[in-house]
Structure 1
Amino acid sequence: MDLFRGIRDLLQIVQDAVQSHLSEDSSDGEEDNPLLYYYALARALRRGDANSHRPGLPTELVITIFDYLEVKNSIVEKTSAPFSVYDGNHVAIAVDTKRLLPSIGRLHLQLATKSHDQGWVSDPNAGNWTWFDIFIWKAKHSHQGPKSYEWISHYNELASSTTTELQGPVFDPSHPLWTHLETGDYITARANACYPGWRNHVEEMKLEIWEPFDPTRFG
């Protein structure tokens, strides 16, 4: 019990330190990468403090602490107003990859939506034709127009007039999307509806791209 109580108290101390740091960053108006602070904190936990006779913690425990806190460096983009798509598509979110290229190999991506289709279908077996996808708009393109790489994120619930919150799969560092990025490209999120009569009614789209925190990355 003493061990668990000690771990719980340590988690609270670290959590308070993280929240305090984030509050200071938001109040001074300056941009900062909070991961730099987390790395320093993780290193201090692992090395201990001889002056206060605090021993260093095992690496596995430090990793567990930051996993528990769900520490990550995120870019989150949201749509600003509801919209509808009729037999076509709409680019709702675009993220410039120059913000991402230094972290390739560690990035994750996920699209979340609040949406519904037209609320009815004449043939439920004919497919679901409202969906959301992720694609790369390539800055370098030929005279034929921009080349894109597309991956479906998820579909609306079929024949539902009720707005539903849905999440697509996480695109982890092994996803092919990351291998195609170049300077000047944009990662975009798009709402789609195909064929007359199909409607994609979107209340909100949210695209999150994040780099998980690895407390062992810099030793």
Structure 2
Amino acid sequence: MPPANRESKPRPMLPLILGLAAVAVTSTWLYKRSYGNPPEAPTAEEPTVEPPTPEKPLDEALDPKDKQLHNIYHIAFLLRQKLVPDVVPAILHHAGLFHRHVDSIYNDHPVLITQRSAPYLCLETPPIKSSARVKNPVRKVVFSIQSCDQGWASDSNSGSWTWFTAGVVRREGEGSTPSELIDHDDDDDGDETEELEDMPPEGFLKHERQILRNDVASRTFKHHIVEWTVDSEDEEERRWVSSLQNGDRIAVRAWAQYQGWTNKIKSVSVGTYTAAVI
């Protein structure tokens, strides 16, 4: 074949190489310029997130590398000066540059949930809102929970019977009635639990799945960090995050099963990370 034909063949790897080079050089430089040097890699002895306190709210403890929306726009603008605009959203995604929304509660006196008072609605987020004009903008959800069980068990090998779940609250229409998210027993014994107010959601609960279970027979509050991403290898987790739409709310519920089991809740936080540029 003539050399001209060989030279005219498309080279699909070139945009990928340019994108990777941009991620490795441009994004790193911009990150250092905006936020300083990134933190060192975490180790088992040094957790990435410090336990929240009243002096340090959960939204600060959840992710110390918060990306402000205006900085993301600025980085996207600079990338588009040198790259094809279509590759910029993918670069921002792989660099973890998302818009973060955090909602949290902190209890000075831990809330105690027994079998009779479960399930208990710990937190319901406001509707998801994203600046990106897409139906499913969520890329990551991070749950931050401080909790423990009653501190003892007759059989520590039987597993934990106190846990948390997350579901999607979606309004179906103006005529929708609230889902039966709360199922409290009015005859609950008050010596074990605080008075809890029902917080019914404004829609229907969908896609509820387990976040975590407490350690068995532990009196010490543990700070759990659970992250679900749209890129997860777990298909159920990936589909759950991908299903979130603008206007959806995330509801976190606490559970306890069997007599004697108590779910003690000190704090709950939900961080929703959405695409900022599409």
How high is the TM-score relative to the length of structure 1? Answer: 0.65
CA distance in structure 2 between the aligned counterparts of 1:196 and 1:111, rounded to whole angstroms:
27
Paired position in structure 2 for 1:132: 164
Q: Name the amino acid aligned to 2:240.
A: P
Higher helix share: 1
Which residue matches 1:106?
137
Aligned with 2:228 (options 170, 174, 196): 170
- The structural deviation recorded for 1:189 is 0.8
Tell me the equivalent position of 2:147.
115
Structure 2: distance between partners of 1:65 and 1:73: 11
Name the structure 1 match of 2:251. 188
- Shift, 1:89, TM fit: 2.2
Matched, 1:13 2:40: no
Of the three residues 207, 212, 215, the one matched with 1:154 is 212
Describe the shift of the 1:207–1:143 C-alpha distance in structure 2 as closer, same or farther (beyond 3 A): closer
Tell me the amino acid that sits aligned with residue 100 of structure 2: S
Amino acid at match of 2:33: I
If the length of structure 2 is used for normalisation, what is the TM-score?
Answer: 0.53
Name the CA distance, whole Å, in 2 between partners of 1:188 and 1:43.
Answer: 35
Q: What RMSD, in angstroms, separates the aligned Cα atoms of the two structures?
A: 3.8
* 1:38 to 2:72 alignment: yes
Amino-acid identity (%): 20
CA distance in 2, matches of 1:180, 1:9: 32
Identify the residue that residue 201 of structure 1 maps to in structure 2.
264
CA pair 61-186 structure 1, distance change in 2 beyond 3 A: closer
CA apart distance, 1:98: 5.3
CA distance change for structure 1 residues 181 and 196 in 2, over 3 Å: closer, same or farther?
farther
1:95 aligns with 2:119: no
Gaps of at least 5 residues in structure 2 are 1-24, 37-66, 182-203, 232-237
What is aligned with 1:24? none
1:199 maps to a residue whose letter is T
The equivalent of 2:99 in structure 1 is 73
- In structure 1, stretches of 5+ residues that fail to align are 1-5, 17-32, 48-55
Greater strand percent: which structure?
A: 1
Q: CA deviation at 1:15?
A: 3.8
Between the two proteins, the alignment pairs up a number of residues equal to: 184
- After superposition, the C-alpha distances for 1:137-178 in whole angstroms (9 at most, x for unaligned) are 354457995752211111111111111111224143732365
Distance 1:77 1:152 in 2: 19
Aligned pair in 2 of structure 1 residues 62, 180: CA closer, same or farther (>3 Å)?
closer
What amino acid sits opposite 1:153 in the alignment?
Answer: I
